[in-house]
Amino acid sequence: MTELLLAFDFPPIGGGIARWMAELALRYPPGELIVSTGTLPGADDRGFPGPIDRISIPSNRLRTLPGLWAWRRRVRELVVRHRVDFVWCANIRPAGYVAFRTRSRDGIPYGIMVHGGDLLQLQAKYRRSTVKRRVARSLLGGAAAIVANSRWTADLARAVLRELGLEPADRLHVVPLGSDPRRFRRGVDAAPVASRLGIPPGRWLITVARLVPHKGIDLSLEVLARLRRTMPDLGLLVVGRGPDADRLGRLVDRLGLGGAVRFLDQVGDDDLPALYGGAVAAVGLSREEGLDVEGFGIALVDAAAAGLPVVAGASGGTADAVRAGETGLLVPPRDPAAVESALTRILADPALAQRMGAAGRRWVETEMNWDRVATDLRAISRAAASSARR
């Protein structure tokens, strides 16, 4: 069976959705998946076993009407040339528009992957507009499968479908995301990367996230200032970039954290395993902030793969990325006292931290890995395509 993946987010774009799509492209058997995406400077697709077909439109213009028309024409060519049996949409929009048209024209079923924040944004729009309600109903109603990245996202998808007058029936599936246990693992020598990046010896917490308010990095900084009263060797590595960088930098100055916080905004993916390897625990205090939310939390599972205990905000879909009390601790994402208590518990008890890290590692090896995610997606698409043929 041949599948086509329509990906608005795909490397070298960063972020969790692009990571998910890239991991699928790496793990589908050769010849079973074609990726259709936009053009980006610096893109290097040589490491993927299947074709990455880049339409001659910049990725950020695929949402425009000219971009959508061009994408539809290109998808038509790919469908005929490769005899595509099923189409995956990495996003509701814009990929859903193209897939819906392909189903209407060629009868090819499609599935949509939903992530959490996209559903909240869609909901806000269709509640204000009758036209957008009809469009949302068509795109989601026409999908043969809807895949949610967590149970929380699935619950939200179920609510959206029913609000649109659609029944989820057996089309809605939960596929928690994963990590790569071969890449993220214990025992990675952190010294060369630490030396190159100027990270001094000490006990380092690590946060890997885009610098935006809902990731809760501001609370991590406030808690770090508290913890350093009794743990002066403790610091925080913040790996990522984003529009909140200046505000967070000012907060570091106000809290007097100085060299205790390192913002690493130019770190390549190849350095991440070593950065996790040099940390004592991972922190991810995502919270719901307007229409922004953590649908799952891939970085939390990467940390588990590296054998780190995790402290995460109990918000959105993070409960599927952390086994509370086993691989880490879930805390109210706006409660600094709760976060401080959880981190103190882990940092003051090396045996507990080791047990949680080992449990997280086992979890990734046996279940929370990208091989399992790809297997789940292939089973869903085959069942949906078979049902559509019947």
Residue 65 CA to residue 57 CA, distance in Å, equals 12
Neighbours of 68 (CB within 10 A): 19
104 contacts: CB under 8 Å, gap ≥ 6? none
Neighbours of 141 (CB within 10 A): 14
What pLDDT is attached to residue 168?
A: 79
- Residue reference for tokens 């925080």: 236
What pLDDT is attached to residue 360?
A: 98
Model pTM score: 0.94
One-character DSSP codes across 148-172: ESSHHHHHHHHHHHHHTT---TTTE
What pLDDT is attached to residue 294?
A: 95
Answer for the pair 255, 222: CB distance below 8 angstroms, yes or no. Answer: yes
Residue 150 CA to residue 114 CA, distance in Å, equals 9
10 CB-side CA count, 13 A: 32
Residue 312 CA to residue 363 CA, distance in Å, equals 17
Residue 88 CA to residue 123 CA, distance in Å, equals 21
Of 236, 233, 231, nearest in space to 221 by CA: 236
pLDDT, tens digit, 9 for 90 and up, residues 244-271 = 999 999 999 999 998 899 999 988 888 9
Sheet holding 145-148, edge to edge: 52-58, 33-39, 3-6, 86-89, 110-114, 145-148, 172-174
Class of domain 191-366: alpha beta
Residue 105 CA to residue 76 CA, distance in Å, equals 9
Token representation of residue 70: 């061009």
Strand ranges (DSSP E) for 272-349? 281-284, 310-313, 328-331
Tell me where in the chain the CATH 3.40.50.2000 domain(s) lie.
Answer: 3-178+369-389, 191-366
Residue 44 CA to residue 26 CA, distance in Å, equals 13
Cα dihedral 150, 154, 157, 162 in deg (nearest 10): -170
Token representation of residue 108: 């090819």
What pLDDT is attached to residue 170?
A: 86
Answer for the pair 207, 220: CB distance below 8 angstroms, yes or no. Answer: yes
78 contacts: CB under 8 Å, gap ≥ 6? 4, 34, 36, 53, 84
- CA 140 vs. chain centroid, Å, equals 21
Mean residue pLDDT across the chain:
95
Task: Give the DSSP H or E segment for 15.
Answer: none
Give the DSSP letter of residue 229.
Answer: T
Sheet holding 234-239, edge to edge: 261-264, 234-239, 203-208, 281-284, 310-313, 328-331
What pLDDT is attached to residue 14?
A: 86
Which of the residues in the chain have pLDDT under 70? Answer: 390
pLDDT, tens digit, 9 for 90 and up, residues 174-208 = 999 999 999 999 889 999 999 999 999 999 999 99
Architecture of the domain whose range is 3-178+369-389: 3-Layer(aba) Sandwich (3.40)
Residue 250 CA to residue 56 CA, distance in Å, equals 41
pLDDT, tens digit, 9 for 90 and up, residues 47-64 = 999 999 999 888 989 999
What pLDDT is attached to residue 390?
A: 67
